[in-house]
Homo-oligomer: A and B are copies of this chain.
Amino acid sequence: MKIILAQQNYHIGNFDQNTAKIIEAIENAKQEGADLIVFSELCICGYPPRDFLEFNDFIERCYLAIDKIRTHADHIGVLVGSPSRNPKVEGKDLFNSAWLLYDQKIQDVVHKTLLPTYDVFDENRYFEASDDWHVMNFKGKKLAVTICEDIWNLGDNPLYRICPMDRLMAFQPDIMINLSASPFDYTHVEDRKAIIKANVKKYRLPVLYCNTVGSQTEIIFDGGSMAFDSSGNLIAEAAYFEEDWLSVNVNEDGTFQEAILKPNEEIPDQECTPLNYSPDLNIKEIHDAIILGIRDYFKKMGFSQAILGSSGGIDSAVTLALACKAIGAENVRAVLMPSQYSTSHSVQDAEQLSKTLANPYDIITIQSIYDSFMLQLQPIYKDLPFSLAEENIQARVRGNLLMAIANKFGLILLNTTNKSECATGYGTLYGDMAGGIAVLGDVYKMQVYALAKYINREKEIIPQNILDKAPSAELRPNQKDSDSLPDYRILDALLYQYIERRQGPSEIIEMGFDSNLVERTLKMVNASEYKRNQFCPIIRVSPKAFGVGRRLPIVAKYLG
């Protein structure tokens, strides 16, 4: 039996485009003489559709798309993911389902059992869990079809009480097929392979795993669809961070006709989140994920050009380099906005960077606008000393200028804030926190340096001077980040324990961090929740990014 896994990039709610893409793949698969083609979880509507699922109209369009695709599923079997209505009154209205189309008919539908409801996932908000398990019969084979999370509980995953594959084994299936929408994060590059391997080991069945690819606002799906034979050999593996297509032939005995990519190798069972912060870990994957994140954000929003403030600092330099790579240097407009507090090398470094990247840039000084603000505020400010308020005015003048150019020419403002700043609230709302998407908002400062080194791995794109100088916001004379923040190496490691690993103050202090520093830092994080609440979406590369996957109350008083 020839089976194809179609690893595609969908656009949420764009039924015309998604359906056309699926139909094109079906037609190509027919040309290849495939028996079955498999698509990813909720491919019909794109994942995650969120509250669109609450609109009857949206569900209706899913059904219409299925109906259209069905007519193409003549001599080929088609497995697609789409919501289905729950016929029972009790429970949620929908299931998250896999539909088997064949002979131009809906042959069978199975539902997802394990509904992730943590971090960025809200599936219990919409879906009822399956309580009816059966295999799908197709061309004399019994397919154990599951959806994403369903294969992540092998009896030791403490989140769930049911193991769907255990139920399906009662029907003696011939092959496991999983439709996924499994997002990337840099800590589990090998996790997915490990869990699939563990399934093979437990059930002694070949596994075909079809993942989606592409970025949906903040969430990156990295692809990497794969096929394992029942002995645990990796037979085929699709590309990461791009669309791809796997074609495999399954023999009668469950072996594959294809060459073994990787013979039954040991894949270490990783901790989901490593115990300690290491800024260089999987930096290539982080780089590739961000590139995809930027590219898809623009494509799916219908924009082609970006703008950003280029300060001569490391964050804007890395953001600029990534943006140029993602959407083309000619489409990224950098604006240098020095003030009286900017050092001359800042402008030089920023200019040098844009010359190397060959992206357009402008220089606008902000002094005169700042002065006009101060003049109007004089009757209110009177003789009060220079404070954070004046620093914020400068940052907001820059934000206003960037938005003014963005609005005039239809550009999207890229935000350059890094995760360390975002965590501690070291940024100005409506100033440097403005933007359509935050490129580095899930990347700690030391990881930004690692990214810069990775970008410079073959030739110097980011001027070495930018990597060498001490970080500064340049909002008052001789300002350094280290005036207000601890050393980033210590700060990042501490934040990692609190954000990624959800350790409390006493646990972090036990690791050897200074207790005053811990108290002060956790207080900064919790007290700046109101700022992050108004922040733009952040391209997610870690297991715990700020944004939709981390939900904290604002008017709280905990560790603050």
Chain B residues positioned under 8 Å from A54 (CB to CB) = 502
Q: Hey, what's the 0/1 contact readout for A2-42 against B, CB within 8 Å counting as 1?
A: 00000000011110010000000000000000000000000
Chain B residues positioned under 8 Å from A14 (CB to CB) = 556-558
Shortest beta-carbon distance from A159 to chain B in Å = 7
A392 (CB) vs chain B CBs: closest residue: B407
A400 touches B380 (CB 8 A): no
Shortest beta-carbon distance from A532 to chain B in Å = 11
Complex-state Cα separation, A54 to B500, whole angstroms:
11
**When A52-B556, A159-B91 are in contact, do A373 and B57 touch as well, CB less than 8 Å?**
no
Question: Residue A484 at the B interface, CB < 8 A?
Answer: no
**When A368-B376, A389-B404, A407-B388 are in contact, do A92 and B159 touch as well, CB less than 8 Å?**
yes
Question: Residue A140 at the B interface, CB < 8 A?
Answer: no
Complex-state Cα separation, A14 to B122, whole angstroms:
27
B407 touches A389 (CB 8 A): yes
Question: Residue A345 at the B interface, CB < 8 A?
Answer: no
Complex-state Cα separation, A548 to B548, whole angstroms:
10
Q: Hey, what's the 0/1 contact readout for A520-560 against B, CB within 8 Å counting as 1?
A: 00000000001001111100000000001011111111111
B430 touches A158 (CB 8 A): no
Complex-state Cα separation, A373 to B401, whole angstroms:
8
Choose, from A102-110, A176-184, A220-228, A296-304, the stretch at the interface.
A296-304
Question: Residue A48 at the B interface, CB < 8 A?
Answer: yes
Chain B residues positioned under 8 Å from A505 (CB to CB) = 57
Chain B residues positioned under 8 Å from A507 (CB to CB) = 56-57
Shortest beta-carbon distance from A199 to chain B in Å = 18
Chain B residues positioned under 8 Å from A12 (CB to CB) = 553, 555-558
Chain B residues positioned under 8 Å from A118 (CB to CB) = 125
Question: Residue A365 at the B interface, CB < 8 A?
Answer: yes
Q: Hey, what's the 0/1 contact readout for A35-77 against B, CB within 8 Å counting as 1?
A: 0000000000010111110111110100000000000000000
Question: Residue A96 at the B interface, CB < 8 A?
Answer: no
A404 touches B430 (CB 8 A): no
Question: Residue A408 at the B interface, CB < 8 A?
Answer: yes
Complex-state Cα separation, A542 to B301, whole angstroms:
30
B393 touches A551 (CB 8 A): no
In chain A, positions 231-255 with a C-beta closer than 8 Å to chain B are none
B403 touches A376 (CB 8 A): no
Question: Residue A124 at the B interface, CB < 8 A?
Answer: yes
Shortest beta-carbon distance from A192 to chain B in Å = 22
**When A118-B125, A430-B430 are in contact, do A297 and B555 touch as well, CB less than 8 Å?**
yes
Shortest beta-carbon distance from A133 to chain B in Å = 17
**When A117-B124, A430-B399, A534-B536 are in contact, do A52 and B552 touch as well, CB less than 8 Å?**
yes
Chain B residues positioned under 8 Å from A49 (CB to CB) = 553, 556
A58 touches B552 (CB 8 A): no
Spell out A's residues near B (CB within 8 Å): 11-14, 17, 46, 48-52, 54-58, 60, 89-93, 117-118, 122, 124-125, 156, 158-161, 215-217, 296-297, 300-301, 362, 364-366, 368-369, 371-373, 375-377, 379-381, 384, 387-389, 392-393, 396-397, 399-401, 403-405, 407-408, 429-430, 434, 436, 502-507, 530, 533-537, 548, 550-560
Q: What 11 new A-B contacts, CB under 8 Å, besides A373-B401, A534-B535?
A: A13-B556, A13-B559, A14-B556, A51-B552, A57-B503, A91-B161, A215-B555, A368-B375, A389-B407, A430-B434, A537-B554
5 A-B contacts, Cβ less than 8 Å apart? A52-B553, A92-B159, A117-B122, A122-B122, A215-B555
